[in-house]
Amino acid sequence: MEMKIPPDFEIDINTIKGFLDPIEGAALHQLAADASDLGPSLEVGSYCGKSTVYLGSACKRMDSILFAVDHHRGSEEHQPGEEYHDDELFDSRTQLMDSFHQFRMNMRAADLEEHVVPVVAPSVVAAKRWNTPLGLVFIDGGHSLEAALNDYRSWARHIVPGGFLAIHDIFPNPEDGGQAPYEIYKLALASGQFERVEMVKTLGILRRL
């Protein structure tokens, strides 16, 4: 993807916890800029806000809005005893994982509070009464098949014609990673409503027909 608007942050992106490759992040930044004339952007799965800064900084430059949907209780792999658990994000008072405090601090440090709207709720709950057409949906939520299917079915239908659907962590080879994001990527293509634009590392980019 041609980078027409390079990322420009008020925060050191490397200080934000997260798993997004900078090349994928730059592609998301450009997508959010390209989609801004079509409608606001929305991401599913914000964690501590690394992808949010890439997307939100483009929305800020284009005077658009990013909705950041996350319950901030972590996916399966973030829970105690799991591979990606982080003790710094575990709230000993509630005995629950909670990334929202870190997320909000990062949005403030990145000067994005006027362009990023946190939606602190499970994806399917946030989508129940959603009526706003979207120029971009980025899916990077839970990686179980159930969670990925719920995210796709909840949000892809709100993308306007010409808008983008981006799905993170696509691994066609099962030996490289989990298959749920790849399954919804294939489902979107098979629906006849989306066309392939580009694959940037593990980020699949589709356009709504």
Q: What is the pLDDT of residue 81?
A: 65
Bridge pairing between strands 90-91 and 66-69: unpaired
Mean pLDDT value of segment 174-199? 96
Which one of the listed residues 29, 71, 78, 143 is annotated catalytic?
143
State how far the alpha carbon of 57 is from the alpha carbons of 20, 31, 133, 154, 162, in Å: 15, 12, 20, 25, 22
The answer to whether 144 and 45 have CB atoms below 8 angstroms apart is no
Mean pLDDT value of segment 46-53? 97
Q: Say yes or no: domain 19-208 is CATH 3.40.50.300.
A: no
Q: What is the pLDDT of residue 96?
A: 72
Active site residue 72: no
pTM of the entire predicted model: 0.93
- Band of pLDDT at residue 34, cut at 50, 70 and 90: very high
Please give the share of the chain, as a percent, with pLDDT higher than 70. Answer: 92
Which residue ranges make up each domain of the chain? 19-208
Q: At what angle do helices 100-109 and 50-61 cross, to 10 degrees?
A: 40
Average confidence score pLDDT of the chain = 92
How does pLDDT run across 77-131, given as a tens digit for each residue?
666 766 666 667 767 777 778 899 999 999 999 999 999 999 999 999 999 999 9
